[in-house]
A and B are shown apart, each in its own frame.
Chain A
């Protein structure tokens, strides 16, 4: 069974048409419609252990351009590890000692309270506190003074604090993702918050852009741009907009992947005929051929320790995922079921391989446990593409099609909690999840 919830108002559990659902969300969320209209978390399956948490509306939120409690709640829900308890109407802030019995009665284990105050200089003072309402214990809090433009970032930092306190793992809500949109004849590469909001344009072009890949330090994006009417690989410093050519050889240049040390990229080049794997220096030059096959070798990705490269090859007659030493050498086949397995992505903890497998003509996101070789299908959509792991290895972002439109989704590794990310209008695709901030 599938239930859909509007994350900032979880009591709306009844199945609603998508448009109606968004309208409702907009009504509830007003006046900040753009920020909230698209928050939606889909929960499938049962038997989940989720931490029940109540996020009280932040005092002063009505005067704030960003509804902090709703952003924090949507972040936590999207992680799959939290279940939101309705806290609407609660009049609490970080200085108040909550009536823990009341929150226990609502079956919350924890409660977050806070406030946002506009200062005389136009900045905002944001404070919060986290409570363990089972033990009646104060778990700490934080305060920030930020410009209006950083209110979302602060909300994500609060969600990270809560996530870390309650799960013991690092949160990914204040990381960034890159993605590409196609709107009319224009292609744009965006850098956005991990919830898809707050997108900033890094590149705009009349020709396609594909395969963005964050550098390990999160400062640069490598990608394939067709702006010279052929595929060419660039590296782009996001803060300055400075770009440099990584591979612009005769023929096609594509599929950039950073080595974990950030000094080398693996790419696919057709300069010697066919599509084969090479490494190039991150500053250009020093081109070395990695693979020697008569078929297609493409979509390289480095293992997190940098020792091997996973890639796609049709050397066996159909595309399958292989792995080989990072300096080149004998390849071992990794995927065995199905006759079309592409787009490998490795979790930063090295345990998981996400990839796209064609099943009865549908392209579906799959996950392999690299220790056991066990494979799970994670979605029931039919045109999944380009999986990429969150830096804490707990979520995967991928592109798919919903109601004929391209969309970005996140999923937990068990496939049970999915969220559609907000984004620009038009078709949205090619997500890549950036690293933890250094």
Chain B
């Protein structure tokens, strides 16, 4: 919407071999008396559509962030902000409000269990919970955007609770 950071580095280095399958017009020599049929008039159906590769450039860098924690962790299957993370919300709310030009994206994340799209929706609940908590402290909604990465960007590798608990999070990202 607002900022479409489409760093579209289109690399044009593809094999330029778009060759339709051409049919042999001559009949196959056939000692048994039956000719191998040509592949029909629609032989171009075998033509391979080449795939032109697109290369997306590097991600945009972050903007000015406050010192101190910017991550809120969640319990399993929960998007309730636990009391121990209220201080993280408070400090970031002050920092955002101090400069009306600051734009913040809250990124929700889940652990690895379950489907990618459903986890995207679960991560969205976490980011929206943080966004609501910030707006309750007077941060204008226009400075905030809540998005989700689902399970796509874990910070901890591994398939145990210690990794999962670090991956169930919302990150306050200054852009």
Contacts and interface: CB of A to CB of B under 8 A. Distances in A.
Contact of B10 (A225, A238, A241, A252): A241
A238 B118 CA distance: 27
B36 A127 contact: yes
A206 B36 CA distance: 50
A325 interface: no
B117 A210 contact: yes
A149 B145 CA distance: 47
Contacts of A254: 117, 120-121
A239 B52 CA distance: 6
A252 B39 contact: no
A228 B5 contact: yes
Interface string A189-220: 00100000000111111111011000000010
A336 interface: no
B152 interface: yes
Of listed A241, A248, A252, residue having the most chain B CB within 10 A: A252
A205 B56 contact: yes
A10 interface: no
Contacts of B149: 208, 226, 231
Nearest to A404: B159
A138 B32 contact: yes
A251 B145 contact: yes
Interface in A271-315: 273-275, 296, 298-299, 312
A173 to B, nearest CB: 12
Contacts of B17: 147, 149
Main SS at interface, chain B:
loop
A384 to B, nearest CB: 10
A249 B1 contact: yes
A204 B53 contact: yes
B145 A230 contact: yes
B54 A203 contact: yes
Interface residues of B, number: 65
Interface string A138-164: 101111111101100110010000000
Interface in B95-148: 105, 107, 113-118, 120-122, 124-125, 128, 145-148
A333 interface: no
Interface string A216-240: 0001000011111111000010111
B36 A94 contact: yes
Contact of A153 (B3, B46, B56): B46
A65 interface: no
Contacts of B52: 202, 238-241
B39 A203 contact: no
A343 interface: yes
Contact of B6 (A138, A207, A219, A228): A228
Given A94-B28, A245-B4, A251 B124 contact: yes
A243 B60 contact: no
Contact of B148 (A250, A252, A312, A343): A252
A356 B38 CA distance: 44
A252 B53 contact: no
B30 A239 contact: no
Given A140-B37, A274-B124, A255 B105 contact: no
A61 interface: no
A64 interface: no
A102 interface: no
Interface in A7-63: none
Contacts of A224: 120
A342 B115 contact: yes
B36 A204 contact: no
Interface string B28-47: 11111010111100010110
A142 B39 contact: yes
A430 interface: yes
Given A205-B56, A206-B56, A230-B105, A144 B23 contact: yes
Given A140-B37, A231-B148, 9 more contacts: A123-B22, A141-B28, A144-B39, A145-B21, A210-B152, A229-B107, A251-B147, A255-B117, A385-B116
16 contacts: A94-B36, A95-B32, A97-B31, A143-B39, A145-B24, A154-B21, A201-B51, A207-B56, A210-B117, A226-B149, A227-B59, A228-B6, A229-B5, A250-B2, A274-B128, A312-B117
What 9 pairs across the A-B complex have the smallest Cβ distances?
A241-B52, A141-B36, A200-B51, A208-B152, A275-B121, A205-B56, A230-B147, A296-B121, A201-B53
Interface of A: 94-97, 123, 125, 127-129, 138, 140-147, 149-150, 153-154, 157, 174, 191, 200-208, 210-211, 219, 224-231, 236, 238-241, 243, 245, 248-252, 254-255, 268, 270, 273-275, 296, 298-299, 312, 319, 340, 342-343, 356, 358, 363, 385-386, 430, 437
Interface of B: 1-8, 10, 15, 17, 19, 21-24, 28-32, 34, 36-39, 43, 45-46, 48-56, 58-60, 105, 107, 113-118, 120-122, 124-125, 128, 145-150, 152-153, 173, 175
